[in-house]
Amino acid sequence: MVVIGAAHRIEIVIVSIVLVGIAFGGFEIIAIVYTAELSGNSFRIKSNTTFNIAWSVTQFFTTSLFLLARTWRIICIVLIGVPLLISLYVIKNYIFETPRYLYFEQRYQEAREVLNKISKINRRVPINERLLGEHGQEAEEGTIFFPKRQVPPEVQAISKGNFTGYLDLFKDKNIRKITLFLLYVWFFRHFAYYGLNFSLPSLGTEVYRNFTIASVAEFAAFLAADRINQRFGRKLSLIISVGLVSLACLAIIFFPIPDECYLAVEGCYQKRVSLISTIVAKFGLSFFASVLITYTSESYPTEVRPLGLGITMSTGRLGAIAMPFIVAYMSNTQVNPLFSFGVAGVIALIFIYFLPETYGRILKDYVEEMKPQGQPLIRISEKSNKMESSFD
């Protein structure tokens, strides 16, 4: 971003923008995986909600900052580039590896050290027990396992040393169904989210005001996500939020904005209806995105979680790529672009209905655990329950 702001040749700007896109995509995926693996079951939605609230608050101030900056070079260097450089220091000094990943890699000593860092930060008792599997230790008193379950030895034997790739997301029918459905659901998420922002000028009112109001709607949605998600679970929350988006977007077809309304300052109710529909859709989409991030991370085992999030979120970017062409076509045919988002949402509802619930389930570590012939999971002790609460 600093190079973009300082560049004086369009070729350098284009190459840098491509690199920024690659880097931001990877950063977002890794951040979501990191949050999922570091958070316990009861805390996972709270951690994602906290990040999303920070996102919405940033958007709220974006309008004022961009108006003050006045030039894209200041935006790239001062508002984006410099804060990212500062974050390098924070990541290097205050972000540690997740215990789940270290355990999966059989780096038990490092996993215990990280768990003790977490315990110290949360003012909990340090962990002295050995992790299950460390030095060949089997489940017995004085041994803990993260996260409070026992994996059959044959599953670990099959998975140990195996190289996992994107094909593993399609080999087993259970993971294949989840992946195929989530590919479209993420496509809809990006298509509708960026499409709403892109469509703000077509609502007939001032674009910066619309963006600020939409940001407030996002903030309210993220605040509500935690409570509603705990009450209804992941799957029903997804259905409710997508249904809200679809209804708000489809309702707009009954209130087309006449050409004369775009020039009118007051007295055109179609403008107000469009803005209200956009706010409701933005609220539903923000709540939907908050739940979807958590749901996707919980749907895949540790072995392929970055791959699952990577392929689904990357497919979602295709929705963002297709969005400008679809919105432009809808605008040229005198149809409000929100109608296309509503139709896409109805299709997403059908796919979500056939997805499994993940709320309250322990995260799996191995692909083999997703197969029907796998052995049932065993909860091993009350102590491990207390341990996870201390990590939260």
Query: What's the number of domains the chain is made of?
Result: 1
Tell me, yes or no, whether 105 lies in a domain. no
Tell me, yes or no, whether 42 lies in a domain. yes
Question: What pLDDT, on a 0 to 100 scale, did the predictor assign at position 389?
Answer: 40
Tell me, yes or no, whether 31 lies in a domain. yes
Distance CA 305, CA 281 (A): 29
Q: Which parts of the chain register pLDDT below 70?
A: 41-42, 133, 135-163, 199-210, 256-267, 269-271, 370-392
The 10s digit of each residue's pLDDT in 204-241 is: 446 666 677 777 777 888 777 777 777 788 889 899 99
Tell me, yes or no, whether 305 lies in a domain. yes
Distance CA 293, CA 310 (A): 12
Question: What pLDDT, on a 0 to 100 scale, did the predictor assign at position 234?
Answer: 85
Question: What pLDDT, on a 0 to 100 scale, did the predictor assign at position 17?
Answer: 93
Tell me, yes or no, whether 349 lies in a domain. yes
Question: What pLDDT, on a 0 to 100 scale, did the predictor assign at position 33?
Answer: 78
Question: What pLDDT, on a 0 to 100 scale, did the predictor assign at position 255?
Answer: 72
Tell me, yes or no, whether 109 lies in a domain. no
The encoded tokens of residue 120 equal 């110290």
Question: What pLDDT, on a 0 to 100 scale, did the predictor assign at position 313?
Answer: 85
Distance CA 190, CA 195 (A): 8
Q: Give the CATH number of the domain where residue 89 resides.
A: 1.20.1250.20
Tell me, yes or no, whether 107 lies in a domain. no
The 10s digit of each residue's pLDDT in 155-179 is: 554 455 566 778 888 888 888 899 9
pTM to 2 decimal places: 0.68
Question: What pLDDT, on a 0 to 100 scale, did the predictor assign at position 54?
Answer: 82
Tell me, yes or no, whether 20 lies in a domain. yes
Q: Which domain does 84 fall in, by range?
A: 2-94+167-367
Question: What pLDDT, on a 0 to 100 scale, did the predictor assign at position 281?
Answer: 85
3-class secondary structure per residue, the chain: CHHHHHCCCHHHHHHHHHHHHHHHHHHHHHHHHHHHHHCCCCCHHHHHHHHHHHHHHHHHHHHHHHHHHCCHHHHHHHHHHHHHHHHHHHHHHHCCCCHHHHHHCCCHHHHHHHHHHHHHHCCCCCCCCEECCHHHCCCCCCEECCCCCECCHHHHHHHCCCCCCCCHHHHCHHHHHHHHHHHHHHHHHHHHHHHHHHCHHHHCCCHHHHHHHHHHHHHHHHHHHHHHHHHHHHHHHHHHHHHHHHHHHHHHHHCCCCHHHHCCCCCCHHHHHHHHHHHHHHHHHHHHHHHHHHHHHHHCCCCCHHHHHHHHHHHHHHHHHHHHHHHHHHHHCCCCCHHHHHHHHHHHHHHHHCCCCCCCCCCCCCHHHHCCCCCCCECCCHHHHHHHHHHC
Question: What pLDDT, on a 0 to 100 scale, did the predictor assign at position 373?
Answer: 47
